[in-house]
Amino acid sequence: MSAYAKTGVFLCKCGDKIAPFINLEQLEKSVGAEPDVAHCATMAFACLKPGLEQITQIAVDKQLNRVIVAGCENRLMLSKFEEHLRPLELLKGQIDMVNLRGHVATVSDLDAEQKATKSAKLIAAAVAEMTALRPSSLTRARLQGPVVIVGNGIASFSAAAEMARQKIDYRLAVESADPGLIIERIHETYPGEQSYHPRLQKSIQEALQSPHGKLLVGRKLAMLSGVTGDYTLTFSDDQGAHEKFTAGAIIACLDAQFTRPKPGFGHDGKTVMIPSEMESLILRSGPPKGTVVFWISDYENGQPEFAALSAKSAWQMAAHIRQTSPAATVIMLYNQQMEVPLTAAERAMNRKLNLLWIPYDGAMRPTVQDGFLTFCNLSDHVEHELRWNHLVLSPERMITGETLRVARILGLVHKEGRFLTGHHARVRPEMVGREETYLAGSARLPCSLADALAQGRRAAAKTAEMFRKANAGELFVPRIVCVVDPEKCIGCGQCQELCDCGGIGVEEGPGGGLPRIVDPMVCTGGGTCAAACPYHALVLQNNSNDQREARVAALARRLGPDESMAFVCGWGGLPAADIAGKQGLKYDPRIHLLSVPCVGQIDACAMARALKEGASGLVLVGCLPETCHHSYGLDHAWARVNTIKKLLSLSGFQRERIALAHADLNRPEDFVRTVDSFTRTIAAMGPMVRTPEDQAKVDALYDLIKHNTRVRHLLSAGLRRPGEDTYQGDQRHALDYDRDFSAVLAEEFLQQRLLQVFRAAKGPFNLDELTGRLHEDPNQVATCLWEMVQNGQIGFTHKNHEAVYALS
C-alpha cells in the first residue's frame, strides 16, 4: 500500500439502476483486495444524505485522504461529494468518480459477474491515478495594489466611478483630465448622443474627483508584466521616460474608431460625411439647413449587424437637427432588411417631428450623385431620387492605431479581426475570464455610449467583487491550473504561444533567462499547453500527466488481449457516453472508457503508455472540430495521434490501433457508432503481438515520445496556435512537413531502439550485432550510430579492426 495515499472506494447500488446489473458483492471483494485500497463499501444511495453521512463517517474513521465513488456521472455528482467532504480537507482532485451506471451497467448484455470484472478494472485504474496524485495545498489569492484603468476609452470613467462607489483605490490613465475636452472629443467615437453629454459629464466628474482615484494623464502604456493580483505596468510619457506602477487588477477600456466608407459612396467629408463629421459640423456651425439625408449604409459597408446601432444614433442626431432647425428636412433612408429600431414613444415623437423613414430595396445599392441619391423603391420597383444638401453615411468601424497597440500589450488580440471578440469559450464559471472582467467599450463590439459606460460599470463591478472576495479571504487559487517547474523550464516559449487564455506570462529572471510563469487566476486549467511542453516542465497540478499515465497503465495492464480503451473528452465523448448510458444504448463491452477534461490534455506519452502496457487499441473521442473548449485541444490530439501512428508503423504495428474520433454530446447514437466501429477494427486485427522483440519496440516508442526532446519539440512546434485558422493537416506544405517529420521520427526511433539495446545488455556491440538485434538496414544503423557518437550519447572503440559501440 502507498505510504501516503489512503483511498476509500464506495460502490453505489443506485436503487435498481446498478445493483441488478453488476454483481456488487463480487466487485466489493475484488476492489477491497487491491493493495492501494484502504477501504471499500457498498451503499444504497451514496449521494443521498444517509449515504453521504456514511461516507463521511468512514472517511473519518479510516483517515481516508482519497475517495472514489463508483456510481454515476461525475459531471453531475462530483461537486456534491466535494462539497460534503470539504470539511474533512478532502479537496478537489482528491475525490473521483467512476460511472458504473452509465459506462458499464446498462450499455451491454454482459452478465452481472462480467460487468463486475469490467467495473473492477475501471476502479483499479482510478485508484492508481489517486495514488499517483500529489495534492497541492489550498492557497488564497491575494490582490495587491490598486486597479489600473487603461486604454483611454470612455468606459474608463464609468469604471472609475463604479470603483469610487465601491471605495476601491484606482489609477485612471487618460489622455486628458478636462471634462470639457473629453466631451468635445466624444462625438468622434460616439456621435449622435448629445443628449447624453450632461450625464456623461457627471460620471466623468465622479471619476476624476473621487479620493480613491489617482490620475495618470497623457501617458502611454508601454509594457505589462506579472499576474492577477500583482501586475506591473510601465507607462511612458512624451519624453519617453518610463514609470512603473503596480496593480492588483487591470480594466481595459477601449473604443473602436469610425473610418470613412469605401470610395463609391461619395464621401468627401464636407457634404457627404459620416456621423462624427456631421456632429463636428453641428458643433462648429449649428444645425444644417436644407435637406439632410441619413443613409443607413451598414449593409453596403458589409456590417449589417450594426445597422440598428447606426440607425438609432442617426435618428437621435436627426431629431436634434429637427428640434433645433425647424427649417431642415430630415430623411432616414434604410435598407428594408433592417427593422426600424424605435419604441412606441419614439415613434410618436418621430411622428411629431416628422422625420421620414424611407426603405429601399437592398438588392439595388443606392447611388450617390451630386445633390441626389437614387434608390429603388420596394413597392413600385421604380428608381426614385432623393434630393440632399447633406448626406450622412454609416461609418465603417474597426480598431486601429493606439487602441490596437494597447490591446496587443494587454494580450487582448486573440484573433486578427476588426474587433476584440473571439475569445475562447469559458470552461470554468468561477474563472476570472479576461473578457468578462477586463474589457469594456466599443472595441469589443460597436455599441452605444450608454452601453459602453454600462460595460465599464460591469467590468468594475466584477473586479470589485473579486477584491471583496480576496479581502475577505474567500478568493482561492483554482486547484486545477498549470504550474511551472523552474528547474525544468528552459523558456522555449512553446506553451505561451499555444495558450489561448492568456494565463502564461514572461518573467524576467536573473541572467536574462525567461522562465514562464502562469497566472492561476486566468489559467483555465485546460492543460493543452502542459501536454505540449517538451521538457515536462509545465504541470497541470492535481491532474498531472503522471496521474494520467498511472491510470492508463493500471487499466492497460488489466485489459484482456482483445480489449481496448478510450479517452472520452469532458465536452464531447464523455457526455455523449453518459447520455448513451442513460438512454440504455448498447455498445461493444470490450471498450473501457476513461474520462478526461479535454483530449488535448493527453500527452502523447500517455497514449503510448496505453499501448506499451497492454491495450490493443486506443481511441480518443474528442468533441466536434472547432468546438474545443480549450486551446484547440482536438487539433493537438490530432497531431499527437498521428505521431503515434507513424511510430506504430515504424514498429511494425497497425496504425489503426490508435484513432481520433469526434462526438457531439447531443448525439449519443453517433457515439455508439464510433465505439462499435473502432472495436470492430481492433477485433479484426486481433490482439497486439507481444513477443519480447515487439514489446521492446513499443517500449522504445514510449521512451522516445516521453523523453526525446527533439521529437517533443517538433511535435509542439507543429501544433495549431490560437488565431490560426487552419487545421493542422490543412497547411500549405502539409505533405513536405509530414515527410520531414516522419524522417525525424524514423531516425530518432532507431536511435531510441539502439539506446534500448545498449541499456539492456552490456556492450560493446559491433554493427552486425546491432543490425541483427534490430533487424534493420545496416546503412541506416551505421548512420544512426555515427549521429549518436557525435552527440556524445555513445562512444566507440576499435576491436579487431572493427568499430564497437557502447554507452559513454
Partner 1 sequence: MITFKINDQEVSARPGWTVLETAREHDIDIPTLCFHPAVSASGACRLCMVELREGSWSKLVASCIYPVAEGLQVFTETERVRNVRRWVFEMLLAACPASPEIARMAAKHGVTSTRFESHDPEQTCMVCGLCARVCEEVVGLSAIATVDRGVHKRVGAPFAKPTDVCVACGSCVTICPTGAMQSIFDSIRGVPATNLTQLG
Partner 2 sequence: MENFGVQIDEIIERYPDKPEYLIFLLQDIQSSYGYISPEAMQLACDRTGVPLTQGYSVATFYQSFRLDPSGEHEIRVCLGTACHLKGGQRLVEDLERRLNIKAGETTADMRYTLNTVNCVGACALSPVAIIDDEYHPNATARKLEKRLNALDQTDAADEKEAGHA
Binding residues (CB under 8 A) for partner 2: these are: 193, 195-196, 198-199, 316, 319-320, 323, 326, 329, 342-345, 347-349, 351-354, 448-451, 453-454, 457-458, 461
Q: Count of residues for the chain?
A: 808
| Smallest distance from partner 1 to CB 411, Å | 21
Which whole-number Å values give the CA distances from 698 to 494, 609, 734, 760, in the listed order? 27, 9, 27, 15
In the structure grid, which three cell numbers stand for residue 440, read together? 469594456
Which listed option, partner 2, partner 1, none, makes contact with residue 664 (CB within 5 to 8 Å by class)? partner 1
Which listed option, partner 2, partner 1, none, makes contact with residue 193 (CB within 5 to 8 Å by class)? partner 2
CA–CA dist 426, 587 (Å, integer) = 32
Stretches 44-52, 251-259, 302-310, 478-486: which one binds partner 1 (CB under 8 A)?
44-52
> If binding is defined by CB under 8 A, does position 48 make contact with partner 1?
yes
Residue from 151, 575, 617, 763 touching partner 1 (CB under 8 A): that is 575
> If binding is defined by CB under 8 A, does position 626 make contact with partner 1?
yes
Which listed option, partner 2, partner 1, none, makes contact with residue 345 (CB within 5 to 8 Å by class)? partner 2
Nearest one of 566, 546, 570 to 556, comparing CA atoms: 566
Residue from 624, 767, 782, 803 touching partner 1 (CB under 8 A): that is 624
CA–CA dist 597, 352 (Å, integer) = 60
Q: Say if CB 135 and CB 93 are below 8 A apart.
A: yes
Number of amino acids touching partner 1 (CB under 8 A): 40
> If binding is defined by CB under 8 A, does position 625 make contact with partner 1?
yes
Element (H, E) at 748: helix 734-760
Q: Say if CB 67 and CB 84 are below 8 A apart.
A: no
Q: Say if CB 546 and CB 556 are below 8 A apart.
A: no
CA–CA dist 531, 596 (Å, integer) = 13
CA–CA dist 628, 643 (Å, integer) = 21
The CB density around residue 45, as the number of other CB atoms within 10 Å, is: 15
Stretches 61-69, 367-375, 571-579, 712-720: which one binds partner 1 (CB under 8 A)?
571-579
Closer to partner 2 at the Cβ: 349 or 585? 349
| Smallest distance from partner 2 to CB 344, Å | 5
Which listed option, partner 2, partner 1, none, makes contact with residue 583 (CB within 5 to 8 Å by class)? partner 1
Closer to partner 2 at the Cβ: 461 or 490? 461
Which whole-number Å values give the CA distances from 191 to 196, 381, 397, in the listed order? 11, 34, 13
> If binding is defined by CB under 8 A, does position 60 make contact with partner 1?
no
CA–CA dist 413, 422 (Å, integer) = 9
Closer to partner 2 at the Cβ: 472 or 761? 472
> If binding is defined by CB under 8 A, does position 730 make contact with partner 1?
no
Residue from 154, 309, 540, 579 touching partner 1 (CB under 8 A): that is 579
Which listed option, partner 1, partner 2, none, makes contact with residue 655 (CB within 5 to 8 Å by class)? none
> If binding is defined by CB under 8 A, does position 726 make contact with partner 1?
no
| Smallest distance from partner 1 to CB 52, Å | 9
Closer to partner 1 at the Cβ: 57 or 323? 57
CA–CA dist 600, 532 (Å, integer) = 9
Closer to partner 2 at the Cβ: 326 or 561? 326
Q: What is the dihedral of CA 221, 226, 232, 233, to 10 degrees?
A: 0
Q: Cell 474608431 appears where? A: 257
Stretches 269-277, 362-370, 464-472, 579-587: which one binds partner 1 (CB under 8 A)?
579-587
Q: Say if CB 731 and CB 724 are below 8 A apart.
A: no
Residue from 666, 783, 797, 808 touching partner 1 (CB under 8 A): that is 666
Residue from 62, 75, 365, 469 touching partner 1 (CB under 8 A): that is 75
Which listed option, partner 1, partner 2, none, makes contact with residue 582 (CB within 5 to 8 Å by class)? partner 1
Alpha carbon 716 to its chain's center: 17
The CB density around residue 646, as the number of other CB atoms within 10 Å, is: 18
Contacts of 414 (CB under 8 A, 6+ apart): 420, 422, 423, 424, 500, 722, 723
| Smallest distance from partner 1 to CB 643, Å | 24
Q: Per-residue contact track with partner 1, 255 to 274, x per CB under 8 A? A: --------------------
Q: Cell 487491491 appears where? A: 34
Closer to partner 2 at the Cβ: 79 or 323? 323
Residue from 20, 33, 63, 79 touching partner 1 (CB under 8 A): that is 79
> If binding is defined by CB under 8 A, does position 569 make contact with partner 1?
no
**3-class DSSP assignment, residue 681:** helix
Closer to partner 1 at the Cβ: 400 or 666? 666
Stretches 294-302, 346-354, 368-376, 567-575: which one binds partner 1 (CB under 8 A)?
567-575
Closer to partner 2 at the Cβ: 106 or 316? 316
Q: At what angle do helices 734-760 and 692-707 cross, to 10 degrees?
A: 120
Residue from 582, 655, 710, 713 touching partner 1 (CB under 8 A): that is 582
Nearest one of 160, 200, 137 to 463, comparing CA atoms: 160
Which whole-number Å values give the CA distances from 386 to 331, 338, 363, 502, 578, in the listed order? 9, 20, 18, 52, 63
Report, in angstroms and rounded to the nearest whole number, the Rg of the chain calculated over CA atoms: 33
Footprint of partner 1 (CB under 8 A): 15, 44-45, 47-51, 53, 73, 75-77, 79-80, 425-427, 429-430, 570-571, 575, 578-579, 582-583, 624-627, 629, 662-667, 670, 673
